[in-house]
A and B are shown apart, each in its own frame.
Chain A
Amino acid sequence: MLELKDYRTKVHNDWCPGCGDFGILNAVQMALFELKLEPHDVAIFSGIGCSGKTPHFVNTYGFHTLHGRVLPIATGAKLANNALTVIAVGGDGDGYGIGVGHFVHAGRRNLDFTYVVHDNQVYGLTKGQSSPTLPKGQRTKSMSGPAIVEGINPIGTAISSGYTFVARSYSLDVRHLKETLKAAVLHRGSALVDVLQTCPTYNDINTKEWYAGADLPTKSPRLYKLEETGYDGTVKDPNDSAEVNQKKAQAIVRSLEWGDRIPIGVFYRTQEPTFEDMIANRMPAYKEVPLTKQDLFNRDVTTLFEDLT
């Protein structure tokens, strides 16, 4: 019987006290446990940044890669062994800044994997510069002035790029995050979970209190759950382009909502053939046996030489 502790390692954790990363780490471990995934059947990949250390704390195969480059490495591993459950984690600077090219193209492929982005609007590991998700005009404490460029819209970008599961959650709502992660892992195709997260050390704007709405006259939380408002982001018929377009449009409109009311939950979800399906169309054997398990070492290349005679 697997226990939750089987997904934990003994590696010392040096994140700042109160860091939102802890909520994400716990949710990842709980999601894997509740999905009853064997640790050795899971591989977690990360980029560089505070979030990059995540794999070291999870007892699965773990790859701590380069800044902005987690998605190509995770993609290569998944394609080599499509029996693995692949989860990529990274920060907002990592994924939406230096790695945004890979972010877009990973969506185009619709590879069956989950991408969890720690979205705290700052570069924590380099001491608080603005990240690509910090809105224009905002100034966190280590910045010399307010941001003079627009923030990126991760949800809208993901939908435009082809992700077939696009959701947002909050690191301090571990239950919601865990359920969102489980749905993302179970989804066949590229899944983005953008996780709003506090950085108690460098982001003095989007704090725990701010998300809780302490500064609002109503004192009511800024975050609300899409599913509790009757919002339905799931495409029923992927072949119905009118429905697909309508669902994408409503998701993008909803993703622009920011300020006093911020939606979390599943913005958009559909079913399309995965990258693996498309490869299997070309090579039927690919669907049945992962490349790592195929005997490719006794290939006869005589005909290739004969072709050239």
Chain B
Amino acid sequence: MRASEDNIQSHVDWIDLLVALDKETLFGDIQKEYPTHNGHKNEVSPGGGIIYDAALKLKPEDIGRPDVNLYPIPYLDVLISALKETGHEHELSKYQVMTNTVAFGASTAMIDYDFNIVAEAIKEGFTGRKAALGELNVKAARHGYDYVKNTFHDGFAYKLHPVPMKEKRMLIRGVQAVGIAKFRAGCAFQTYYPITPATDESEYLENHQKNYNMVVVQTEDEISAVLMATGAAHAGVRSATSTSGPGFSLMAEGLGWAGHTEAPGPVIILYQRAGPSTGLPTRTEQGDLQFVLHAGHGEFPRMAIAPGDVMECFYDTFDAFNYAERFQMPVVVITDKFLASSYKSVELPDASNLKIDRGQILTENDLGKGPYKRYEFTPLGISPRTLPGTRGGIFHTTGDEHDELGGITENSENRVKMMQKRMRKLQLAAELIPAEKKVNFYGPEKADVTLVGWGSTKGAILDGMRDLEADAIRCNFLQVRYMSPFPSDLVTKFLSNTNRKVLVEGNYSGQLGSLIREHTGIVMDYKVLKYNGRAFSQNEVYEGVKQAIKNGVKEVVMAHA
């Protein structure tokens, strides 16, 4: 957890106050055949502190960090004193897990935090039948708190004070932002097959579906998930599905059918995780960008939007439904495990002004005597649609190449016209979507270094830029948000008069870099990459960029866990 009075958007790799609940937290699991870490004690910053269990009977030299403050606390003894006060001392075995709460209370004392806030926060976690247990936890935290206040008087350097709030704030994760956007956008139908980390979003929708009349279906697989949502879109509702890499792989053929039949959806939310195959299923990565752009055989229009932070997840998901219906094509919102699961404190948005745009829908009164042409050739490529059930609006659709009526044809002239009609819509989308949605540009117009990235690395890049500035490296940042249609003009404009371009991406090959080169011919000077399943930290952006430009390393691979 990281807190600051400033607007911070990422984590750092050091720890100012480590709360070690057990020995492994300090020393790692290096005795194991495949150790996962060698102890968090090595990550504590000089001048920082470590709270640990006095029962471990460690001498300072065992920990080997003379530069940090050590705070041994007898967790169990403190817990017993708390239990005694409430008459629960005979139930120690039942409540032993509350040593965690003792340590938590102790840590809040270390940073001089207001205990009333701590107590409130604990009680929020224990409602209803568990309220009494909440009170007990507050007591345990209080004893931990008091133990620190009575025992350590050297004054820990880091303090945390409440900041007066101008606006109301909330603590929100990516899956919630996407879910709320779906409700706001009028999405009526969501399908999913359980998969980490996407399922959290569908569960959120299920928990609220009753109040918003949204049908949520758990399907037999992701093939069914994408196609059921496509069937619902064709039938006339806004529909969506959510998945992660393996599920999206199964959706490839269905995505093509949706694109080819010009379905007004679905919106697919892809929560990338580290692949390939099962990969690191609970870890993050930006490895699916090129796959999203190419999934499915043949060529068909699709949109792909990559939000960079939790509120962009909200707005981009909302827009996705408008564009899916307006341009009659599937839209993929590409985010990842990191944004899906990370909590962020942000101001409440005003969602009341968002405009719904369903595109051109013909009703019975709009339809003439002649046969309705579902795939009518129009100058802009969009054929006004009818919703099944409309008198006079009967149409046929097919995954075969078809004529204006939706009848199968292998006529060569028709084929060319239909291909151009479908792909024209993507060009139209490129013309109509406002520039400010397609890319974000941060920092001064002229800089020593231009950082280029997309998606969830945005937070670490923005924070890392401040460190680079502090180190007298003037930098700016181009965040690409629309991947299809690709904003070639804007990217060219922002990247043509730069000094050194550094690509920062969470994958092995620098997929955005390839995409930029494909569309603009512009080549990145340096790449800072990371693909160990962990998100970029603020300091990694700083360290990576600095190593690239100061030491001239063309490709820097970051690997902090």
Which A residues are within 8 Å of any B CB, using their own CB?
Answer: 9, 11, 38-41, 43, 45, 48, 53, 55-56, 59-66, 69, 71-81, 83-84, 101-102, 104-105, 279, 282-283, 285-286, 291-292, 294, 296-297, 299-302, 304-306, 308-309
Contact yes or no, A102 B220, CB < 8 A: yes
10 inter-chain pairs at a CB distance below 8 angstroms, sorted by A residue, are: A61-B389, A64-B408, A65-B227, A73-B230, A73-B231, A74-B231, A102-B224, A282-B210, A291-B213, A306-B170
| B396 interfacial by beta-carbon distance below 8 Å | yes
Contact yes or no, A61 B394, CB < 8 A: yes
- The residue in chain A whose Cβ has the minimal distance to the Cβ of B229 is A76
Smallest Cβ distance from B273 to chain A, in angstroms?
A: 24
B residues 159-217 in Cβ contact with A at 8 Å: 168-172, 176, 179-180, 183-184, 186-189, 191, 208-210, 212-215, 217
Complex alpha-carbon distance, A305 and B388, angstroms: 35
| B407 interfacial by beta-carbon distance below 8 Å | yes
Smallest Cβ distance from A24 to chain B, in angstroms?
A: 18
Q: A56-B398, A296-B188, A297-B186 are in contact. Are A63 and B231 (CB under 8 A)?
A: yes
- The residue in chain A whose Cβ has the minimal distance to the Cβ of B266 is A76
Smallest Cβ distance from A73 to chain B, in angstroms?
A: 4
Q: A69 to chain B: which residues have CB within 8 Å? A: 223-224, 227, 253-254, 257
| B234 interfacial by beta-carbon distance below 8 Å | yes
Contact yes or no, A294 B351, CB < 8 A: no
Complex alpha-carbon distance, A296 and B239, angstroms: 12
Smallest Cβ distance from A83 to chain B, in angstroms?
A: 6
Contact yes or no, B237 A72, CB < 8 A: no
Complex alpha-carbon distance, A78 and B171, angstroms: 38
| B348 interfacial by beta-carbon distance below 8 Å | yes
B residues 227-254 in Cβ contact with A at 8 Å: 227-239, 253-254
- The residue in chain A whose Cβ has the minimal distance to the Cβ of B173 is A308
Complex alpha-carbon distance, A59 and B236, angstroms: 19
B residues 403-436 in Cβ contact with A at 8 Å: 406-408
What interface size band does chain B fall in?
35 or more
Q: B257 to chain A: which residues have CB within 8 Å? A: 65-66, 69
Q: A77-B232, A81-B389, A101-B220 are in contact. Are A62 and B397 (CB under 8 A)?
A: yes
Contact yes or no, B235 A283, CB < 8 A: no
Contact yes or no, B169 A309, CB < 8 A: yes
Given contacts A62-B406, A72-B225, 13 further A-B contacts (CB under 8 A): A11-B407, A48-B399, A56-B396, A61-B394, A61-B396, A64-B399, A66-B257, A69-B257, A72-B228, A81-B235, A81-B237, A292-B237, A297-B356
Which B residues are within 8 Å of any A CB, using their own CB?
Answer: 168-172, 176, 179-180, 183-184, 186-189, 191, 208-210, 212-215, 217, 219-221, 223-225, 227-239, 253-254, 257, 261, 348-349, 351-352, 356, 358, 387-400, 406-408
Complex alpha-carbon distance, A62 and B399, angstroms: 12
Contact yes or no, B398 A40, CB < 8 A: no
Q: B238 to chain A: which residues have CB within 8 Å? A: 296
Contact yes or no, A72 B223, CB < 8 A: yes
- What is the predominant secondary structure among interface residues of chain B facing chain A? mixed
Q: Contact check: which of A66, A101, A305 meets B254 at CB < 8 Å? A: A66
Complex alpha-carbon distance, A66 and B208, angstroms: 33
Smallest Cβ distance from A1 to chain B, in angstroms?
A: 16
Complex alpha-carbon distance, A80 and B388, angstroms: 10
Contact yes or no, B170 A66, CB < 8 A: no
- The residue in chain A whose Cβ has the minimal distance to the Cβ of B237 is A80
Q: A302 to chain B: which residues have CB within 8 Å? A: 351-352
Complex alpha-carbon distance, A291 and B231, angstroms: 13
- The residue in chain A whose Cβ has the minimal distance to the Cβ of B234 is A77
Contact yes or no, A40 B169, CB < 8 A: no
Q: B348 to chain A: which residues have CB within 8 Å? A: 305-306, 309
Q: A65-B227, A74-B231 are in contact. Are A40 and B392 (CB under 8 A)?
A: yes
Complex alpha-carbon distance, A305 and B398, angstroms: 41
Contact yes or no, B215 A279, CB < 8 A: yes
Q: B187 to chain A: which residues have CB within 8 Å? A: 296
Contact yes or no, A301 B235, CB < 8 A: no
Q: A76-B239, A81-B388 are in contact. Are A39 and B394 (CB under 8 A)?
A: yes
Complex alpha-carbon distance, A283 and B399, angstroms: 34
Q: Contact check: which of A283, A292, A306 meets B387 at CB < 8 Å? A: A292
Complex alpha-carbon distance, A39 and B210, angstroms: 33
Q: A305 to chain B: which residues have CB within 8 Å? A: 170, 172, 180, 348-349, 351
Contact yes or no, B407 A75, CB < 8 A: no
Q: B406 to chain A: which residues have CB within 8 Å? A: 62
Contact yes or no, B221 A101, CB < 8 A: yes
Contact yes or no, A79 B232, CB < 8 A: yes
Contact yes or no, A80 B236, CB < 8 A: yes
Smallest Cβ distance from B216 to chain A, in angstroms?
A: 9
Contact yes or no, B408 A53, CB < 8 A: yes
- The residue in chain A whose Cβ has the minimal distance to the Cβ of B387 is A292
- The residue in chain B whose Cβ has the minimal distance to the Cβ of A12 is B407
Complex alpha-carbon distance, A242 and B253, angstroms: 44
Contact yes or no, A62 B170, CB < 8 A: no
Q: B392 to chain A: which residues have CB within 8 Å? A: 40
Interface centre among A78, A83, A301 (most CB of B within 10 A): A301
Q: Contact check: which of B213, B219, B233, B407 meets A296 at CB < 8 Å? A: B213
Contact yes or no, B229 A62, CB < 8 A: no
Smallest Cβ distance from B121 to chain A, in angstroms?
A: 13
Complex alpha-carbon distance, A299 and B356, angstroms: 11
Q: A77 to chain B: which residues have CB within 8 Å? A: 231-232, 234-235, 388
Q: B349 to chain A: which residues have CB within 8 Å? A: 305
Q: Contact check: which of A59, A65, A297, A301 meets B394 at CB < 8 Å? A: A59
Complex alpha-carbon distance, A55 and B170, angstroms: 51
Complex alpha-carbon distance, A296 and B209, angstroms: 12
Q: B356 to chain A: which residues have CB within 8 Å? A: 297
Complex alpha-carbon distance, A69 and B254, angstroms: 9
Contact yes or no, A40 B389, CB < 8 A: yes
Q: A286-B213, A302-B351, A304-B208 are in contact. Are A84 and B188 (CB under 8 A)?
A: no
Q: Contact check: which of B169, B219, B388, B399 meets A72 at CB < 8 Å? A: B219
Smallest Cβ distance from A4 to chain B, in angstroms?
A: 16
Q: A11 to chain B: which residues have CB within 8 Å? A: 407
